[in-house]
Chain A
Amino acid sequence: GAVVSQHPSRVICKSGTSVKIECRSLDFQATTMFWYRQFPKQSLMLMATSNEGSKATYEQGVEKDKFLINHASLTLSTLTVTSAHPEDSSFYICSAKGPGRLNTEAFFGQGTRLTVV
């Protein structure tokens, strides 16, 4: 139980285009989802926290108009990188928490490698 699926696993896009990354909780209701960004050989940097049905809370320095987060249902959150540029190339990881015993830890997706050319 507590499986999180992230799609796509890797994507290459042209500069100026937008890319959508999906994060799904397959067997539980994800009341909260987190989006992280990871630079090569570095730790995870929290970008934003989203609760189902409400606006995401962005960390300082993260542009909310550039990284659009939608958490419209209890099983799906999306991160859209708008007008992508090469500096947005990175590894993006989502994680989800659920109610009850599923709230003590976070469950992670497989990650998405974004390359902007």
Chain B
Amino acid sequence: AQSVAQPEDQVNVAEGNPLTVKCTYSVSGNPYLFWYVQYPNRGLQFLLKYITGDNLVKGSYGFEAEFNKSQTSFHLKKPSALVSDSALYFCAVRAPNSGNTPLVFGKGTRLSVIA
């Protein structure tokens, strides 16, 4: 069975500082990994995904994530945080070739960027 862990409920960072939102996963085989962001009362917006290839994935709004197979991690990072980055972030995983199975989400991490 697939699972995702986001160990931090809340991450606080000062504007301009680098940010990291942690994610670890468990899946059989090579995973498909995703990060989504959710603003209040809105659906999920896609940030980036890892399917194959380079372990460092660059996505929307200056975010990036690094796939680390040995540590089964896919942490989300940004070099310089903005107040507008404050939102709820979800990591998700899917096993490859798993047909029409849904993504499995982590519980979410609330990011607060303080001016």
Contact = CB atoms under 8 A, between A and B. Distances in A.
Contacts of B45: 108
B22 to A, nearest CB: 15
B63 interface: no
Given A34-B102, A43-B106, A106-B103, A111 B41 contact: yes
B108 A42 contact: yes
Contacts of B46: 105, 107-108
A49 B100 contact: yes
Interface residues of B, number: 22
A105 B32 contact: yes
A9 B42 CA distance: 9
B36 A108 contact: yes
Nearest to B101: A49
Contact of A108 (B32, B44, B106, B110): B44
B25 interface: no
Contacts of B74: none
A46 B105 CA distance: 9
Contacts of B43: 6, 93, 108-111
Interface of A: 6, 9-10, 31-32, 34, 41-44, 46, 49, 51, 91, 93, 95, 97, 103-111, 113
Given A43-B90, A108-B43, 20 more contacts: A9-B41, A41-B110, A42-B107, A42-B108, A43-B105, A49-B100, A49-B101, A49-B102, A91-B41, A93-B43, A95-B102, A103-B100, A104-B94, A105-B34, A106-B102, A108-B44, A108-B45, A109-B43, A111-B43, A113-B41
